[in-house]
Structure 1
């Protein structure tokens, strides 16, 4: 942590910045997995909406 002190004696603390890096494009296998997860999430939300409609 980086700390400075001004002329009034007040401390200012600064967090250490993490090292930056570039992200990598997902592989076709990861893209297929994301598509599958999105489909499952969509079905789950649709089921919740249907249950809410039936219960009301």
Structure 2
């Protein structure tokens, strides 16, 4: 039996730590940031990420 070769595929998804997620959510809930404002400075790839 031959071993199949697998190609490495780079992930584009970011893994955020729980503390980072809580900081962003806290800032949004306290009114310091809107969901739209949190996207760029926090490095979130899309707005749908922070609303799910």
TM-score of the aligned structures, taking structure 2 as reference length: 0.29
Q: Which has the larger radius of gyration?
A: 1
